[in-house]
């Protein structure tokens, strides 16, 4: 099982605008590749990727259409007031996240 773990709406540290641009490019390259994902887990500000329109949302929808289950942390959605804005995937729980990360053969994290 392969899991993509997104704990931010940015890639790397530094300029936030650059970080968001890099993450969008990363997700696009994942989509364009032959990498098969079973799950995409979004936590902390990573939930903005599943709740806001844009290139990242488009990439996540494509991954979901290919069979990846996309889950956004419920606590995180509530913290940011974004639960009603969820546009792709399902609301996940920490127990599920722990189980997925512990049992995954490979965890990909940008």
CATH number of the domain enclosing 28: 3.40.1260.10
The per-residue pLDDT for 24 is 96
The DSSP string of 47-101 is GHHHHS-SHHHHHHHHHHHTTPEEEEEHHHHHHTT-GGG--SSEEE-HHHHHHHH
**Domain count within the chain:** 1
**Which residues, given as ranges, of the chain have pLDDT below 70?**
none
Average pLDDT, the chain: 96
Residue-number span of the structural domain to which 81 is assigned: 2-108
The per-residue pLDDT for 98 is 94
pTM: 0.93
């Amino acid at each position: 099982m392969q899991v993509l773990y997104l704990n931010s709406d940015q890639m790397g540290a530094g300029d936030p605008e650059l970080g968001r641009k890099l993450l969008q490019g990363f997700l696009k390259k994942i989509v364009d590749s032959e990498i098969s994902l079973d799950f995409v887990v979004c936590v902390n500000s990573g939930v903005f990727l599943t709740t806001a329109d844009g290139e990242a949302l488009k990439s996540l929808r494509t991954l979901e259409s290919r069979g990846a289950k996309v889950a956004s942390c419920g606590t995180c959605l509530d913290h940011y007031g974004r639960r009603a804005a969820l546009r792709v995937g399902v609301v996940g729980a920490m127990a599920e996240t722990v189980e997925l990360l512990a049992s995954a053969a490979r965890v990909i994290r940008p």
